Amino acid sequence: RASGKIVLFSKLLTDEIILLLKLAMLEHDIDRSKVLTAVGVLTQAAEKLQKKDTLVDEIEVVHLQVCVKKIPTKNKTVKLKLPHSIRRPNTEVCLFVKDLDKFDRDYEPTVHHFKDFLHKKGINNITEIIPLKSLRTEYKPYEAKKNLSNAYDSFIADARIVRLLPTYLGKHFYGKKKAPVQVNLQAKDLAKEINDAIDNSSCIIGSKGSSSVAVVGHMKMSPADLSENVIAAASQISAGVAGGAKNIKQLSIKSSLSLSIPIYMSEGLYVYYL
């Protein structure tokens, strides 16, 4: 079913992509009008798909794809501060927390503690709280990790345990670009800390390939707001990646059902010695 949707979406975009590809090759600077055109193509194709298939009711996430010329020797995470929230309606958020008692096998007291803690802080946008101990025991099997990664829209984690999570979450999270965003649960304004983590994004520039992605919005956003997020993310990633903007080979946008639509292509070859 999903593969059929991708083929359908691809056919709808073919002519528009060829046009945009030519534009990207002729004009090498990112500008608002080009991004607006690309977002418009993505929006129109999504609307056509919705009309053809009434079963498509999920709000599509929009990604910015980044291709670098020189692959870094180690992963680099670029935190993105976006002008418009990427949070979708009814977003479900999972929070990973530290264990209150490392020696007690029962993790329910930890769950209750953090539920009360968040309630007292006036925070009610967390769907699920999973202590580290629960992650180690309940989500150890391959299928359990896979199901967990698909169960929630956003994942955030207590900054005190975030370094331990790759071992327990594995490729289902980090390979699918669902790495939890760290939050400081001791922050003075905890509501702002958590909302910033949910509303914004990040891009992990990987050391094992030239391509990386970052969530920059969704298809229910206005074209203007989505375009501003794309431009802001592109600017921050260009500034944060090793070698700067000169190390960016190509930038594209896409949804989970679409082909990539280029918005920037560089000329020549730039090698940055790390």
For the stretch 136-191, pLDDT in tens is 999 988 899 989 998 998 999 999 999 999 889 987 787 666 789 999 999 999 99
pLDDT for residue 2 is more than 60:
no
Task: Say if residue 44 is in the same domain as residue 8.
Answer: yes
Task: Say if residue 153 is in the same domain as residue 235.
Answer: no
pLDDT digits (tens, 9 = 90+) for 3-18: 444 444 554 555 555 4
Which pLDDT belongs to residue 176? Answer: 64
More confident residue, 97 or 59: 97
Q: Looking at the domain assignment, is residue 271 inside a domain? A: no
Task: Say if residue 128 is in the same domain as residue 185.
Answer: yes
Out of 160, 178, 199, a domain closes at 199
More confident residue, 164 or 266: 164
DSSP class per residue in 161-213:
TGGGHHHHHTHHHHTTT-PPEEE-TT-SSHHHHHHHHHHSEEEEE-SS-SEEE
Task: Say if residue 81 is in the same domain as residue 139.
Answer: no
Which pLDDT belongs to residue 4? Answer: 47
Structural domain harbouring 181: 93-199
Q: Looking at the domain assignment, is residue 145 inside a domain? A: yes
Q: Looking at the domain assignment, is residue 274 inside a domain? A: no
Which pLDDT belongs to residue 51? Answer: 66
pLDDT for residue 24 is more than 50:
no
Mean pLDDT, the chain, as a whole number? 83
pLDDT digits (tens, 9 = 90+) for 47-73: 777 666 555 557 888 999 999 999 988
pLDDT for residue 126 is more than 90:
yes
pLDDT for residue 46 is more than 50:
yes
Which pLDDT belongs to residue 270? Answer: 41
Q: Looking at the domain assignment, is residue 172 inside a domain? A: yes
Instruction: Report the percent of the chain where pLDDT is more than 70.
Output: 82
Instruction: Report the percent of the chain where pLDDT is more than 90.
Output: 48
Burial class, 128, CB count within 10 angstroms (exposed 0-12 / middle 13-18 / buried 19+): middle
26-40, 85-99, 138-152, 210-224: range with lowest mean pLDDT? 26-40
Out of 153, 179, 199, a domain closes at 199
Label residue 160 left, alpha or beta by phi (over 0 means left) and psi (-120 to 50 means alpha).
Answer: alpha
Q: Looking at the domain assignment, is residue 148 inside a domain? A: yes
Task: Say if residue 110 is in the same domain as residue 43.
Answer: no
Q: How many structural domains does the chain have?
A: 2
Q: What CATH number is given to the structural domain containing 73?
A: 3.30.190.20
Confidence of residue 34 (pLDDT cuts 50, 70, 90): confident
Out of 165, 181, 199, a domain closes at 199
- Give the three-state DSSP class for 68: strand
Task: Say if residue 216 is in the same domain as residue 157.
Answer: no
Which pLDDT belongs to residue 268? Answer: 53
Task: Say if residue 76 is in the same domain as residue 107.
Answer: no
